[in-house]
Amino acid sequence: MKSLKIFFGNEDRVGIQDFVLLDAHNSETAFLDNLKKRFTEDLIYTYIGTLLISVNPYKELDIYTKKQMDLYMGVNFFELPPHIYALADNVYHTMLSEANNHFILISGESGAGKTEASKKILQYYAVSCPSSTLLDTVRDRMLMSNPVLEAFGNAKTMKNDNSSRFGKYMDIQFDYAVGGHILSYLLEKSRVVHQNHGERNFHIFYQLVEGGEEDLLRHLGLEKDTKHYSYLVQGECSNVSSINDKNDWKTVKNALSVIDFDASDIEHLFGIIASVLHMGNVHFDGDTKGYAILNSNAALRWVSKVLSPFTVDHAIYARDALAKAIYGRAFTWLVNRINESLENKDSERKTVIGLLDIYGFEVFFVNSFEQFCINYCNEKLQQLFIQLTLKSEQEEYEAEGIGWEPVQFFNNKIICDLVEEKHRGIISVLDEECMRPGDATDLTFLEKLEEKMGNHPHFVTHKLADKKTRKSLERGDFRLLHYAGEVTYCVVGFIDKNNDLLYKNIKDVMRLSKNPIIQECFPATEGDSRRRPETVATQFKNSLLRLMEILTVKEAWYVRCLKSNDNKQSGKFDEVLVRHQVKYLGLMEHLRVRRAGFAYRRRYEVFLQRYKALCPATWPHWRGVPAEGVEKLVQHLGYQPDEYKMGRTKIFIRYARTLFATEDAFEICKHELGKQQRIQKRREFRKQKEGYTTRCEAKSTDNSEYLAFVRQSYLNRLKDNLPKTVLDKTTWLTPPPVMTEILRQLNTRMMVRKYVRGITPQKKAQLQQKVVTSAIFKGKKDSYPSSIAVPFVDTRINEQDINTRVLQTIHHERIKYSVPVVKYDRNGFKPRPRQLILSQAAVYLVEEAKIKQRVDYVSLKGASVSNLGDSVMILHVALNDPKQKGDLVLQCDHLFEALTKLAMIANKQNNIKVVQGSIKFEIQACKEGGVDFSTGQEPMIYKGKNGHLMVVSDYFRISA
């Protein structure tokens, strides 16, 4: 296949820049060939639509300069070669234009480059976003949080010298101010006390010992040699050529200062790190009864007291459990302190871009509890990826009126259920074993799994396997068939790691510490409850479910990172390894979804602007509807009916070859147009002298060229002397006779457009709401004019002011708006204060902890208000169910705001009526009531003699 001269720019012509345009899009071999071809030329980025594939080159590339950033700022996504800056820029500008929230999911194996991709995106936003002293301070802190979190949360593993041993989700907040918030997931605390051969503990331990100043080390009682510390030498690779611990120490110390940690915080934090190292050097002997004993060192007496009368094994367990707990809780404290420094104190609503840099799928020689949790996390993310990809693609086809062709893909829900299902999943079985009385062990846990999972197609153990498979399984193993392939887990340690319990007397001693961070990490209130704390696996499962909730309400973007080889060798492309990653990351499925019928789709305006020169009817300008211009263009090019479809706003082209032929024709056309322009310029030069002598005469063949020159000269002078504002009517340059007033009009329109483009997302959202309000109430309700200047707010009731029980009941529907109201009983019209809550799915009327009425939007027929200045509204409910309560009669001080929100959330703009005189409402099926409206000296609401609710308003009531 010929190299693609991509449809927006052609600087990068190696292979196919967007896999959607790959003719053999069902061929995994063609997919890999294209990746390899580009990788060989150091082109590590390739698209699948808006998904970005990144192949780790294991070497520095000169593609992340400030010049590169400038190049990609504000440019159409496909106009330049694929790059992580292009994706970051497109996410940012889409967020600004649509005023909604987005997230970027960065995924891939350990060592594939996820952390680096996250850094590049953060760095791009730091440079490209608006600048001020405040914004720069917060951005510096956000950037500096990276080396700190890497120091405390990353470590060398067999596959990656800087492997993230925790999951990180960061919300980057934009708008008037900037800020951020970090959520962390499942720090691998077991690494503190044990490392496999060829691996290290967390970076910070080595940085402190190797880079710490002499005075600091003396103060902490440390020596400048890692070999003295048991917790640092188990992997036998304290020194790594690719890691400079001394330099990294300086970076971390500087970063802590930038993030606003004071000297006291830093001293106490490193004191904790030192205490963990000292703890690892505590060794135990056994006395005559087998109990653990220590020497008489006074500093260790408290340890003896806490650990007595333990056996040596119990004492070692308690020591390591304490070391893990101290480090884990200190890490949580560190994340919370970073969040405080990044907090955006602006109370206004902020749009965010979430950045998810989370552990990649892991398969080691021995896989334990941590790998089980990490790979479960990847199953959940894969499930979300397929759901959101299919959903967004199907929604685009439906929105454009294009037929959708179902795509076959592997639904990994069966694996997620195997792990997380209540009462039946692996986590539930593990928790039961951890909590049951008696001697639960890792092997009894495995036996319970075999009882419950015996027939599951994705689960096998030594006992359950056939003869051939049994040879590859130890008796203490179980194997899961993940979407990414088989992984064998050793159950040794599962029970202890899942319990992660500290002895109560150890906690009591920790609360006596003079270190304020330790005091925060071990609060006095902890442990007072008789309820057993959640296990690690359940905590992780619940935090993952919360993460899924966070992500599903945002627009998704993806960066898929691939390892080019397992040896971190530059220039080497291991096809077997890459093929495996392509398979388990679901890239072929994603490509099939994107190619579900059509290889290419573009908005009519963009397509026409690109290719209009190919058709006489559209060149040089098309004055009509863009869709009609595109239809003329493709008919002129000879597109066959099966090659394309016309959507509502876009053209869809089925075959990549059709687009290639169009692009080839455009390249030829550009060459011809360039030649014609050069000939035309020579003609213009020859005619200039002739034109000057007849410049004052009517336009003719003799002076037309010169008059064009006059116009051009005037325009060149005008561009540097344009009025600065729309209201400036005095500084316009006097035009020559051949120029007309139309230029002034064009300039005014341009300045108006510039003003409109400068409107902030918040202001835009406010105006959009006010437009809806105007469409419903303008010229119809007396109090509408006085409401115009009153801004709408996001909500009138904060979530902390809504009862917890109510929040738990409706949280899954996502609350969009809440406001206090007075509800009038349908019979006696007794006024009762209530909360009106609008979720994504329904209207709720709430009294403290009780939901009094729920009306889903399908059952909401509409709303009615009077034409006067009162603030009463009636919500009409379809009585499809005999149990359904009748219409709601409400008084709301923010009537225009509440009904506008309702109209937009429930799509009921055409169902809100302004009525004169009286409004009837349904008390229940076949029984009506009424509300009568009138004006008077003062507003009042009461029950009339006719049994109706009487609403009296004056002309001066303001209802926002």
Residues paired with 559 in a beta bridge? 52, 106
- Residue 960 CA to residue 742 CA, distance in Å, equals 42
- Residue 338 CA to residue 126 CA, distance in Å, equals 17
Within 13 A of 718's CA, how many CA atoms are on the CB side?
16
Query: Of 431, 473, 474, 482, whose CA–CA distance to 452 is shortest?
Result: 431
Sequence-distant (6+) residues with CB within 8 A of 316 are 284, 292
Query: Of 342, 326, 324, whose CA–CA distance to 183 is shortest?
Result: 342
Query: Of 660, 582, 663, 642, whose CA–CA distance to 27 is shortest?
Result: 582
Q: At 509, phi and psi to the nearest 5?
A: -65, -40
A 10 A CB-CB count for 816 gives: 17
Query: Of 343, 340, 348, 377, whose CA–CA distance to 360 is shortest?
Result: 377
Q: Which residues have a catalytic role annotated?
A: 110-111, 115, 160, 163-164, 360, 362
Q: What's the chain's Rg over C-alpha atoms?
A: 34
Reduce the secondary structure of 700-731 to three states and give it as a string: CCCCHHHHHHHHHHHHHHHHCCCCCCCCCCCC
Show binding-site residues. Answer: 108-115
Query: Of 482, 530, 509, 600, whose CA–CA distance to 325 is shortest?
Result: 509
- Residue 359 CA to residue 690 CA, distance in Å, equals 74
Residues paired with 489 in a beta bridge? 367, 478
- Residue 911 CA to residue 939 CA, distance in Å, equals 27
Is the backbone peptide bond immediately before 620 cis, with ω within 30 degrees of 0?
Answer: yes
Is the backbone peptide bond immediately before 309 cis, with ω within 30 degrees of 0?
Answer: yes
CB 169 within 8 A of CB 218: no
| 137's tokens | 């301070």
| 711's tokens | 């116009």
CB 291 within 8 A of CB 478: no
- Neighbour order of strands in the sheet with 650-653: 600-603, 650-653, 644-646
Within 13 A of 822's CA, how many CA atoms are on the CB side?
10
Sequence-distant (6+) residues with CB within 8 A of 62 are none
Query: Of 186, 557, 162, 145, whose CA–CA distance to 356 is shortest?
Result: 557
- Residue 586 CA to residue 393 CA, distance in Å, equals 15
* Cα–Cα distance list, 915 to 865, 874, 902, 959 (Å): 6, 11, 18, 17
Q: What is the DSSP letter of 367?
A: B
CB 920 within 8 A of CB 861: no
Query: Of 692, 740, 683, 686, whose CA–CA distance to 715 is shortest?
Result: 740
Task: Write down the H helix ranges in 168-236.
Answer: 203-211, 214-220, 230-233
Show binding-site residues for ATP. Answer: 108-115
